[in-house]
Each structure stands twice: as C-alpha cells, then as structure tokens.
Amino acid sequence: MLFNHEWELKKSPAGAWQWEPVSISDEDKPVDVEDPAIRQNPIMTDADMAMIKDPVYRKISERFHKDQEYFSETFARAWFKLTHRDLGPKSFYIGPDVPNEDLDWQDPIPEGPSDYNVDEAKAKIAASGLSISEMVSTAWDSARTFRGSDRRGGANGARIRLAPQNSWEGNEPERLKRVLAVLRPIAEEVGASLADMIVLAGNVGIEQAAEAAGHKVTVPFRSGRGDASPEQTDTESFEPLEPIADGFRNWLKKDYAVSPEELLLDRAQLMGLTAPQMTVLIGGMRVLDTNHSMTSHGVFTDRKGCLTNDFFVNLTDMKYTWKPAGNNLYEIRDRKSGEVKWTATRIDLVFGSNSILRSYAEIYAQDDAEDKFVTDFITAWSQVMTADLPPVQ
C-alpha cells in the first residue's frame, strides 16, 4: 500500500492532518471492518509515512516489501520478543514450544556446576583475606541489579565482571577488581562459577559478622549459577540497569529531583522486597560497614563488622537529636552535651521519622530482638541473592 501509491496531506473532517493516496482504484481500497461490501479510502499517519519517507526506515521497508519470507520471520521474532521479554533468561521457560535457539535479549546464561564442595570453597574464601565489607558489598552489587518487572539483572551470570557493569560507579570498580582477583582463582580451584563464589563470599561475610556478634548461623546457599560470556551480553541493553542510587549502600550518583528515600523505595520494589525486609536489610548493611566509598553515614555502631541491631537501637534512642548539616546530611548529637556522635543521610533517618518505617525499626531496636534481627536479615538477604534463579523444579 505504501510503495504502490503517491500520498498527499489532507485535513480530516475533524480538522487533523492525515495522509491519503493521490489516486487509488476501488479494488485497492481496504475493506470496511464492519461491512465487506464497502471499501474505504486508506488513511495514513506521519508514523506510517515515516516508513517510506525516512531514508533508514525506507531501506528496511523496501526489503520487507520485496521479501515476504523475511518479513514473516522478522515479525515472528519481534512478536516473540514482545511477548516474552519479561520472562528473563530461557531457564524460566516451560512447555514443549520453547525454542532451542538462544537469543541475546534473553540474557542467556550457561548452566553452572553445582557438584563442587561448598564447604571447601567457604574455607578458602574465609582464608583469602577479604574483609566482611568487601565480600558483602560485592555480592550485593552483583545481585541488586535484579528487576522483578522483567527478571533482568541479578547475580546469575556474574555480569558484574563484564562491561558495562565492571565500570559502573556504583560498583566501585577498583574495589570490585580487587575482590574478583581473589575470588576467581578460588572458583577455578574448587570447580565453581565465579557467579557462585561472589554470592558465597557474601554469605561467608555475613556468617563471620553474625559470629562476631555472638550468633552461630549458616546462611542458605544455592549453587549452580553460570558465568555469562561477553558474547552472551548485549552491552547496550544493560546500560539502563545501571543503578543511579542505592540506599542500601547509602549512595547517590548525583543529586536528583526525586528524594533519596523515594529512590530507595523504587530499588526495593524492583527487587521484590517488602517494607520490613527493606528495613532489616538497611540496618544490617549499615553495621556491616558496606556504605559506598566506605562513608560512615548511618553506621550507628561502635562494633563495625558485627551483625547487631545497633543501627535501630541508636536510631530510636531519645538521648540523641538530629541536626541538619547541609547537602542532605545530618549530625546525630548527644542531647545533653551537644557532641556529634554520628552522621546520617535522609535514607537513614527516614526509618526514624516515617511512622510506618519507625514501627519496624522499633521492633528490631528492642533489647530481646537481636536474634529476630539476624534471622530476618538472613532471610531477606537470601531472597535477594536467589531472586534471579529459576524456581526449583
């Protein structure tokens, strides 16, 4: 229709501009949708005409015009992408019609080994010299890209080691490079994927921090992640996944019109976290000293690296008052002496100022709540680390 006719701009009965053919025979006119006996003059919009007026679109359209088989194949692939884009990697597909072909937009990930000795790997990681902060931060950065909206991102695939993620500001490239250099040979020694070792190292860090606080725990771990290759990674398509803020690590790439606490909520909902889970993770990440660039904002504890409920205890303690210090920062001062005890961001203090979030914070601040805090933190952490994995069959 587009290529076989000349087109001109005319005004519709409603006064809008539209494209109509200069001349067209009755047999070439489209059939009316309600009465096949009636044929209507075809009408095109600017979007339709762009397919032949724009030189780039025209080149594509000409091939579709001349090659029906190519058009059918391209349309089928585009339709399949449209209706399956939000399923994530092909490992989430079920049924007899799953195509054998791997497509780059599916973010393909090879199946990883799961028959290695996890305890041996944990022992090697524990003896590697990596700090709790380094292990937990790296695991978090690897997993936090997960989006429940389309199941993209996450720790599976270890794409944090590839471009563009290995250069994202939020991933602290120098620290990331240093940690991966330690974990990579361990993965090779035990026969595991680097993706598994990143997550397992985070678990080791949490277990060490819990033990330092007097809690002997084992963080659940699910093996079998694979390491995606650069060829399996559409670099440009991963750019939109770059975090511009991460309240869990108390970081903003720059100041935005949207408040930091709203950006935190957005990140939490994309990761599938509830408000209590978001709360307990914030409290744990602070005392584990995982802030971006190792800032001390919100680290309300004198026992860094210990998985304690100190963040909530000190956040809700009325012996302290909060004073604005500029640039979205606050000073936590002793009410009597005026001495500055800590600094904080809006992210930290919203858990004390918002009535709903404060109610969660007060639960974890109770004298007998540390066991619950540790248990809930580990549960929420494990959910984040496995959110991108297909369900166990």
* pLDDT at residue 393, as a whole number: 66
CATH number of the domain to which 203 belongs: 1.10.520.10
Report residue 393 as tokens: 């069959």
Please write the tens of the pLDDT for every residue from 265-298. Answer: 999 999 999 999 999 999 999 999 999 999 999 9
> Residue 148 pLDDT more than 90?
yes
pTM, entire model: 0.91
Domain boundary residue among 54, 73, 100? 100
Domain boundary residue among 44, 72, 100? 100
> Residue 15 pLDDT more than 80?
yes
Burial 166-189 (b: 16+ CB within 10 A, else e): eebebbbeebbeebbebbbebbee
235 and 260 together in one domain: no
Task: Determine, yes or no, domain membership for 139.
Answer: yes
Q: Which helix (H) or strand (E) holds 167?
A: none
Task: Determine, yes or no, domain membership for 317.
Answer: yes
232 and 260 together in one domain: no
258 and 345 together in one domain: yes
83 and 159 together in one domain: no
258 and 302 together in one domain: yes
Q: Which domain holds residue 58?
A: 7-100
261 and 209 together in one domain: no
Please write the tens of the pLDDT for every residue from 53-81. Answer: 999 999 999 999 999 999 999 999 999 99
Within 10 A of 25 (CB to CB), how many other CB atoms are there? 9
Please write the tens of the pLDDT for every residue from 202-254. Answer: 999 999 999 999 999 999 999 999 999 999 999 999 999 999 999 999 999 99
70 and 150 together in one domain: no
Burial 318-346 (b: 16+ CB within 10 A, else e): eebebeeeeebebbbbeeeeeeeebbbbb
228 and 300 together in one domain: no
* pLDDT at residue 327, as a whole number: 87
Task: Determine, yes or no, domain membership for 230.
Answer: yes
> Residue 89 pLDDT more than 80?
yes
Number of domains in the chain: 3
CATH number of the domain to which 52 belongs: 1.10.420.10
Task: Determine, yes or no, domain membership for 27.
Answer: yes
124 and 251 together in one domain: no
